Structure 1
Amino acid sequence: MEKLVIATRVSQLALWQAYHIKERVEASFPEIEVQLNEIVSNGDKILDKPLALIGGKGHFTKELEDEMLAGNADMAVHSLKDVPTYIPDGLELVAVTQRQDQSDVYLSHTHATLEDLPKGAVVGTTSLRRRMQLLQKRPDLKVKDLRGNVNTRLRKLEEGQYDAIILAWIGLKRLDLLKDIPFTQKLSLDMMIPPMGQAALGIEIVCGNEKVREIAQSLKDENTFICTQIERDFISKIGAGCSAPVACNAVMKDNVITFRIMLGFSDGTNIMQEKVVVNVSESEDLGSKLAKKMIDNGALDLLKNAQKVAFKEEMPQRL
């Protein structure tokens, strides 16, 4: 094999991630030329509607997968949080890179912390998960949808369209954008549980090429793979799409896994929440087991009703 083609989205962060993987592959396999196939995903094109109303996170991955299935790429680099638990036939998610800081971060030009926001302050987020957790803690806030790439979101904050916004810390760190924000507050995992896969990269390949599989496996971090698999098992078992607010995060430290889960309505009500701590040796099927426990306690009906409530004001305009 002389050339490896990596499919990537064209957003600034996606390109940073793709070039990062390109450099790692070139360092480990200097005999292979690595090229990028840059693709504009549907999720990058439709910026005037909440993500839940345009089909969910798969809109960030489908075009890349189509390119691989058409023979135009050997591998795709995804933000793992954007990868649905269903992988199309002919493709395989074989590696997850070492996860960096998974936290969300509060950003503002006017108020130092989330606790300092006055009653009725406007907070911007695209995420039903963040909306749920914000309103659970601060039901007095007004949460307003926020779309666009990272720079667009930061510009809207600076223009005063929002009193504060919530984003993933890792993306801002990778693009060196945190220094430009007057007030930042990294939110603890107990304060704001991340989504499945946040701050890890998923490496998806075309099945059947053993050299590509070898390359992908060289990028794998075993501990991150274990934790993110727990998260993906939970999401898959409970059947949660992005029309329902769900947070789940597994962290491993000293062979102990802490797994946090929350689901409920996007207005911060009807919350179901769990936090379990187990040894890694006891973590097999942990995600599926916790999903079953929540299902037994009524999670499926809750999620069904949450989907009806989410963005109910926008739904009629969709039809």
Structure 2
Amino acid sequence: MPAPGQGALAVEMREEPEMIELLSPLNDRISQATTSAERMFMRRLGAGCYLPVAAYGEISGETLTLRGLVISLDGKRQVRVQQSMHWTAGNILLDAERLGVKVAEQALEQGASEIIGALTSSREQEQLHA
């Protein structure tokens, strides 16, 4: 399973209607939704790129599914979670982000916070001794 947002490209710009209209053909709504769900999963966990956290969102038909994984460095502890929701082109980003939060909360309930806490404290110890 890849890191959240792995391989996604984004254009960040000021909110100027002319530029938004000009660049809108480059936007893929499915990629935007799945990447938003993945990144919100990571954000809600309080994780960053240095932690072994993975997420993969995909849309099949009218279903958006997000899979998440938090794993200890030795691989002995894993929390795997997955949820799906009905997806329509309506309020796509907000719905995708809500799914990311729900999946992250499911992971936290299943012990992801302990794994992340242990990894964070070990990283802090490494930085102190560097």
Superposition TM-score tier, normalisation by shorter sequence: 0.7 to 0.9
The aligned counterpart of 1:221 is 28
What's the counterpart of residue 92 of structure 2?
none
Of all paired residues, the percent bearing the same amino acid is 25
TM-fit CA distance, 1:276: 2.9
Q: Kindly report which structure 2 residues correspond to 1:66-215, keeping only aligned pairs within 5 A, or say none.
A: 193-205=1-13, 207-215=14-22
Structure 1 runs (4+) deviating above 4 angstroms are: 281-284
Corresponding pairs, count? 124
Residue 294 of structure 1 pairs with residue 107 of structure 2:
yes
* 2:6 alignment partner AA: Q
- Who is 2:91 aligned against? none
Per chain length, whose mean CA-contact separation is higher, i.e. which structure has more relative contact order (CA < 8 Å, sep 6+)? 2
Structure 2 counterpart of 1:307, from 117, 120, 124: 120
Q: In angstroms, what is the RMSD of aligned CA positions?
A: 2.6
1:276 is the counterpart of 2:89? no
Q: Deviations over 1:117-170 (max 9, x none)?
A: xxxxxxxxxxxxxxxxxxxxxxxxxxxxxxxxxxxxxxxxxxxxxxxxxxxxxx
Following superposition, the deviation at residue 296 of structure 1 comes to: 2.8
Task: Work out whether residues 266 and 309 of structure 1, in 8 Å CA contact, stay in contact via their aligned partners in 2.
Answer: no
Max Rg structure: 1
* Aligned mates of 1:284, 1:293 — CA distance in 2: 14
Give the Å deviation of 1:239.
1.0
Cα drift, residue 298 of structure 1:
3.3
Q: Over residues 77-110 of structure 1, what are the superposed CA-to-partner deviations in whole Å (9 max), with x where a residue is unaligned?
A: xxxxxxxxxxxxxxxxxxxxxxxxxxxxxxxxxx
**Counterpart residue type for residue 111 of structure 2:** G
Structure 1 SS opposite 2:77: coil
Distance 1:219 1:303 in 2: 36
1:247 lines up with 2:54 in the alignment: yes
Tell me what 2:45 maps to.
Answer: 238
Structure 1: runs of 5 or more not aligned: 1-192
User: 2: CA distance between counterparts of 1:284 and 1:307?
Assistant: 24
1:259 to 42, 66, 70: 66
Name the amino acid aligned to 1:217: S
Q: 1:221 offset after TM fit, Å?
A: 0.8
TM-score by length of 1: 0.35
Residue deviations 1:161-185, cap 9 Å, x none?
xxxxxxxxxxxxxxxxxxxxxxxxx
Q: TM-score, normalised by structure 2?
A: 0.78
Unaligned 5+ residue runs, structure 2? 89-94
Q: How far 1:284 moved relative to its partner?
A: 6.4
Distance 1:249 1:218, change over 3 A: same
Higher share of residues assigned helix? 2
CA contact under 8 A between 1:240 and 1:303: conserved in structure 2? yes
Deviations 1:51-98 (CA, angstroms, capped at 9, x unpaired): xxxxxxxxxxxxxxxxxxxxxxxxxxxxxxxxxxxxxxxxxxxxxxxx
Task: Please tell me whether the aligned partners of residues 230 and 250 of structure 1 are also in contact (alpha carbons under 8 angstroms).
Answer: yes
Instruction: Give the match for residue 94 of structure 1.
Output: none
